[in-house]
Structure 1
Amino acid sequence: MREYSVPVLVDVPPSVNCVETVFARGEQEPDAVVLSRNVGDGWTPVTAARFRDEVTAVAKGLVGAGVEPGDRVALMSRTRYEWTVLDYAIWAAGGVGVPIYETSSADQVRWIVQDSGAKVVVVETEAHRDTVAEALAGGTPDAGDAAGEAGESAGPAVYCLDAGAIDEFTAAGAEVSDETLAGRRTGRGGRDLATIIYTSGTTGRPKGCRLTHDNLMFTARNVSQGSLEALFQVDGRAALLFLPLAHSFARIIEIVLVETGTVLAHTPNMKNVGPDLQAFKPTFLLGVPRVFEKVYNSAEQTAAAGGGLKSKIFHAAAATAIAWSRAESSGGAGLGLRVRRAVFDRIVYAKLRAATGGRLNAAVSGGSALGERLGHFFRGAGIEVFEGWGLTETSAPSTVNIPGANKIGTVGKPFPGVTVRVADDGEVLVKGRHVFDGYWQNEAATAEAIDADGWFHTGDVGELDADGYLRITGRKKELIVTGAGKNVAPAPLEDRIRAHPLVSQALVVGDDRPFVAALVTLDPEALEQWKSANDRTGASLAELCADPAVIAAVQTAVDEANLQVSKAEQVKKFVILDTDFTEETGHLTPSLKVKRNLVVRDFTKEIDALYS
């Protein structure tokens, strides 16, 4: 057993709540720009006073609509400006936010709305309103008596952003006094519930994680004034959020950005991320490994499409960036390596940075493992990625790498106020004020997750090094035990295979089987470029899955992954599927995690064929 603690840096008072800073800054720095809104013809700055006033107007509307202190308000929307206004307005009205992914099905919406007992539901589009209507008309399977106990038999009121919900709330709050709202806003303290975030649900029904104002504020202030302080002291600091704000990772970063006065902008459509990066020019970015993989793979494919010389230059530049970064981690690069990096900086890395707006120098990655190769490449190219780790139950982060002490390949040290322990069986346990106070209406699950000594059992397996850096090696429940009794962690193999430009997803199998195998899917965007470059323009996806050249390319990715593990853990066979794992097919969560059990269920025939 190994344990590592970092002392508390910011001891947040118990009276503090999540909305306090919005009103304090609106009073003290009314003209400070705190958000930026894309209104279609460019980015419009939003001052602290304007943001406070919009939050106030919507909060009064929620009070006018009957929201009482502690009432749950569900929000189903993409990441957009109004999401943040509503998030803070719910807190200002004394309510509890319940985020719902905008891609959620009617069954998922039904469960979350009725399990939480939401009094109001705010949706983004008319299509979302239809989904909610379908959900609430579909009965209450397995939802218990939550709605009935809360007196919600008539169902929650539903408001639609695209149909003018903000104006509706503003009108509804016209008679609510400033004194009434001030009482609501200051009447909530650290111990009060701030949000219920439902887990993505890779297995079974999602559980609602109860996070208090103290959980969120303790995390935000100790991260922003401790581990990542340097990122939020940059002049002209600005951040672009495009990950779903329904996910705890983006949600805590939203709070950090508001707390630090970093200009916050939103991108609702993932297809617009590239243009919005170039137009908004952020200094800071939040992403998941798949985003950084896409950036690298796109650059590699573009170079390949430009011909042999350009491809050779890119690969030489990538190798140089990785070598330089590795050297910096172990004493510093020599003169020759520094010269090569300076040359490639002008002809390759500068173009990569320009594609992100030209000001980006740091990013935070979470959700799954980034991998050493990508971490070193981006640092060598001038965009340092700080990998972190945590779960919804820990208010998102528990550990994170820090500027000046970024140990690539790990997920960093605990942030201030957090203790991490690795149990004898390898499971990572966590303790701190950032740990949730339990699952909503599920005492049995809470007792299973938090032991008698207050340790939260994360379900992740990992290792702590002598300096306190944590390395995650897999999920306890996802460990594969082969027929020969060999324990195999699938994540490192999957991450390495997925790093290939042609690969979209990889899922390693082998439980109770004689050897390890894999299901592989192809990346549609990368495939189009590959088809053009290899004279396969008219080929169908099914034909390409059986194409010897494609199989050979995937084999190189598998061979590369196999170099990282013992012979008994290596992938011996694989099959390329003629479909991808997506959220639409039900095989990915909204946070882009593979629903392993569903993939295994739906592709049983293909898995069996690997072992026939």
Structure 2
Amino acid sequence: MTKTYGNSSLLSNITEQERQGLQRLADYSNIKSLPEIWPLAAKRFNDIVVLRDPHAKPEVILTFTQLNQQIQQFAAGLQALGVKALERVSLISDNSPRWFVADQGIMTAGAVDAVRSSQAEREELLFIIANSGSTALVVEDLKTFNKLQERLHELPIQLVVLLSDEASPTDETLKIVNFTQLLEIGAKRSLTPVKQTHDTLATLIYTSGTTGKPKGVMLSHGNLIHQVIVLGTVLQPQPGDIALSILPTWHVYERTVEYFLLSQGCTQIYTNLRFVKQDLKEFKPNYMLGVPRLWESIYEGAQKQFREQPANKQRLINYFLGVSEKYIKAQRVAQGLSLENLNPSLVARLAARIQASALLPLHALGERLVYAKVREATGGRIKQMISGGGALPKHIDNFFEIINVELLQGYGLTETSPVTHVRRSWHNLRGSAGQPISGTETKIVDPETRKPLPTGERGLVLLKGPQIMQGYYQNPEATAKAIDTEGWFDSGDLGWVTPQNDLVLTGRAKDTIVLTNGENIEPQPIEDACLRSPYIDQIMLVGQDRRSLGALIVPNLEALQKWAETQNSEFRIQNSEFKTEVDLESKIVQDLFRQELNREVQNRPGYRPNDRIGLFKLILEPFSIENGMMTQTLKVRRHIVMERYRDLINGMFA
């Protein structure tokens, strides 16, 4: 059934702030496919710069009019070279204005793009091209093409487009053109309009699976349009506002927010880790998306500057920060926005207001002497920073509130297009993932029985709304496992909701681990590799919302005991409970396990640096059915283990 979002009942229960945001999206309320945005935006914003890459050689600057023209020509060029409606086109490239032109050009031609980074492993890219059934391939440059060329003849690829202007290589079985050549072809041909609806498949985004093979998330035009429309209830950008882009542009989080910001006339500046600090100061962005690790790096940069000050200045800065932390916490209670005190009494609110008033002069002095200077590192014009891809550490949330840079935490998954929840500027409950965006339902259920749980009780988070994917491409079993017959999507996350419907996440029930840099890690293949070591009996990876992976390891005591007998006895001790005489904390034992982990992880196929296990703890109690840490089918109950060893894990990462 086709959904409409502009005037639908999905948007009925919204605040006045949200309603005002929607009014500016009226032009897009009746569109049926995402590419319809760009001709409308070109009329509204014509000569405003939409995309700028200051680090390209030469620098790339496109206006809305030029962007729309290039999208139309790219699409017409694809059609002229034989790409038909609903055919899949693999788009293998990283951030650039040409990526955006290709993405929307493919959709404008009526095709479906399957997207991934050009830095991904060759076997993963070949799997995506094959699994998607792509008949055309768009790659970043000749280097990317060369990585894949040898195996392309085994696949139904007929056309290759280089997004660079490098000379097209000769290939007897493939038609190969570069970016400029394709636009020239498109400029000589009229674009054939393709009828698309909200239910038409728009893109395939491949995400990790428990077997290690990616699953193709099917997102429709309706899924993406819902995000563009509804994000207008959260953010109110103005034409010409600057957005600094650093996340992978093919990733669903960066991608959908880009669609929204550009639909509102914003200018997107492309940056990277090398230039981000410089670009923050030079371009003074109003908006920026990031993962927790990015905000941590800004925080750490400020802390480094603090530490470089003379001792008396350091003491003064720390004093102001301490006072301001008390001030913001009092303000939260007074405003009813404290996660620790969700329903303060009138007396508690009054006391908090009095405390905040008393602390305000010192907080204001800290603002003048310290915080304003810190904000200069962000350019000083931030309206909102939007965080996703993992939970924000409390100290990061506190720091940005203290320096008066508004950080809005959001939540969602590739399968939900992605945004389902986000904190609002007028209801910014720190520590939460925010309230659901319009049209989104949240249900908390018991992870085992699937029975609904009351407000405030922790359980498995289920989601429903217009942004839920159509399913996993050519994988009905995985789709049925993820989405039940009533349309509820199993997020795999554990959490609870407040009486005001804010979602508070507490961990993950399913396997995937998300690091603070936004990388998704599937633990099973790594764990399986580690189990090849004779000294590892059981292992469970941890690291959700951490910088790197860690592990809880149950050692094979018999193998370890035999190994110990060949070593010096000075590190041996008696442990009567588990009948071992090996000191698990001794350096020589720790070195043994470090060596085993490094070898097995790095030798596994498809190894990536993020797969490295940085920290580990050896534990003597095995995971078992009897102690509740394994299911009847002998699968580790990860959330139970996490809860049992919470303090040990926190200590490991401290």
* TM-score normalized with structure 2 length: 0.69
> In the alignment, which residue of structure 1 is the partner of 2:204?
196
Summarize the alignment of residues 552-591 of structure 1 with structure 2, pairs less than 5 Å apart: none
**Seq. identity, %:** 29
> In the alignment, which residue of structure 2 is the partner of 1:561?
none
Change (3 A) 1:135 1:367: farther
Change (3 A) 1:330 1:585: farther
Describe the superposition over 1:525-547 as per-residue Cα deviations: whole angstroms up to 9, x where unpaired.
xxxxxxxxxxxxxxxxxxxxxxx
Q: Structure 2 CA distance, aligned partners of 1:304 and 1:135?
A: 54
The partner residue of 2:143 within 127, 150, 154 is 127
Change (3 A) 1:305 1:72: same
What amino acid does structure 2 have at the position aligned with 1:302?
A: Q
Query: 1:170 deviation in Å?
Result: 1.0
The partner residue of 2:130 within 104, 114, 126 is 114
> In the alignment, which residue of structure 1 is the partner of 2:166?
163
Matched, 1:136 2:152: yes
Q: Structure 2 CA distance, aligned partners of 1:512 and 1:361?
A: 51
Structure scoring higher RCO (CA < 8 A, sep ≥ 6) equals 1
Query: 1:317 deviation in Å?
Result: 4.0
Query: 1:373 deviation in Å?
Result: 2.0
Unaligned runs of 5+ in 1: 140-146, 481-487, 499-503, 515-571
Query: 1:199 deviation in Å?
Result: 0.8
Q: Structure 2 CA distance, aligned partners of 1:580 and 1:158?
A: 41
Summarize the alignment of residues 247-258 of structure 1 with structure 2, pairs less than 5 Å apart: 247-258=251-262
Query: 1:254 deviation in Å?
Result: 1.1
Matched, 1:428 2:461: yes
Q: Structure 2 CA distance, aligned partners of 1:304 and 1:91?
A: 51
Matched, 1:220 2:228: yes
Matched, 1:505 2:548: yes
Q: Structure 2 CA distance, aligned partners of 1:121 and 1:136?
A: 10
Q: Residue 202 of structure 1 contacts residue 594 of structure 1 at CA under 8 Å; is this kept in 2?
A: no
RMSD in angstroms over aligned alpha carbons? 3.7
The partner residue of 1:462 within 480, 495, 500 is 495
Change (3 A) 1:362 1:437: same
Q: Structure 2 CA distance, aligned partners of 1:376 and 1:573?
A: 38
Query: 1:44 deviation in Å?
Result: 6.8
Change (3 A) 1:381 1:110: same
Query: 1:93 deviation in Å?
Result: 1.2
- 3-state SS in 2 of match to 1:271: coil
The partner residue of 2:508 within 469, 475, 488 is 475
Moved more, 168-177 or 34-43: 34-43
Q: Residue 474 of structure 1 contacts residue 489 of structure 1 at CA under 8 Å; is this kept in 2?
A: no
Q: Residue 74 of structure 2 contacts residue 102 of structure 2 at CA under 8 Å; is this kept in 1?
A: yes
- 3-state SS in 2 of match to 1:264: strand
The partner residue of 1:373 within 380, 384, 395 is 395
Describe the superposition over 1:286-320 as per-residue Cα deviations: whole angstroms up to 9, x where unpaired.
00001111111122123223443444344334334
Describe the superposition over 1:183-205 as per-residue Cα deviations: whole angstroms up to 9, x where unpaired.
13xx1221111100001457521
> In the alignment, which residue of structure 1 is the partner of 2:120?
104
Query: 1:39 deviation in Å?
Result: 5.9
How many pairs align? Answer: 502
Describe the superposition over 1:97-141 as per-residue Cα deviations: whole angstroms up to 9, x where unpaired.
21112320101111111111122222223322222225537x6xx
Query: 1:251 deviation in Å?
Result: 0.8
- 3-state SS in 1 of match to 2:244: strand
> In the alignment, which residue of structure 2 is the partner of 1:323?
326
Q: Structure 2 CA distance, aligned partners of 1:308 and 1:377?
A: 21
Matched, 1:416 2:438: yes
- 3-state SS in 2 of match to 1:330: helix
Matched, 1:383 2:405: yes
> In the alignment, which residue of structure 1 is the partner of 2:250?
246
Q: Residue 542 of structure 2 contacts residue 549 of structure 2 at CA under 8 Å; is this kept in 1?
A: no
Describe the superposition over 1:443-473 as per-residue Cα deviations: whole angstroms up to 9, x where unpaired.
1110111101110111111111111000111
Summarize the alignment of residues 53-452 of structure 1 with structure 2, pairs less than 5 Å apart: 53-134=69-150, 136=152, 152=156, 156-161=159-164, 163=166, 165-177=178-190, 180-181=191-192, 183-184=193-194, 187-201=195-209, 204-224=212-232, 226=233, 228-230=234-236, 232-233=237-238, 236-267=240-271, 269-331=272-334, 332=353, 334-425=356-447, 426-452=459-485
> In the alignment, which residue of structure 2 is the partner of 1:23?
39
What amino acid does structure 2 have at the position aligned with 1:436?
A: M
What amino acid does structure 1 have at the position aligned with 2:180?
A: D
- 3-state SS in 2 of match to 1:367: coil
Q: Structure 2 CA distance, aligned partners of 1:202 and 1:360?
A: 39
Change (3 A) 1:73 1:271: same
Query: 1:87 deviation in Å?
Result: 1.4
Change (3 A) 1:352 1:122: farther
Describe the superposition over 1:256-280 as per-residue Cα deviations: whole angstroms up to 9, x where unpaired.
112222222222x321111122222
Q: Structure 2 CA distance, aligned partners of 1:29 and 1:189?
A: 25
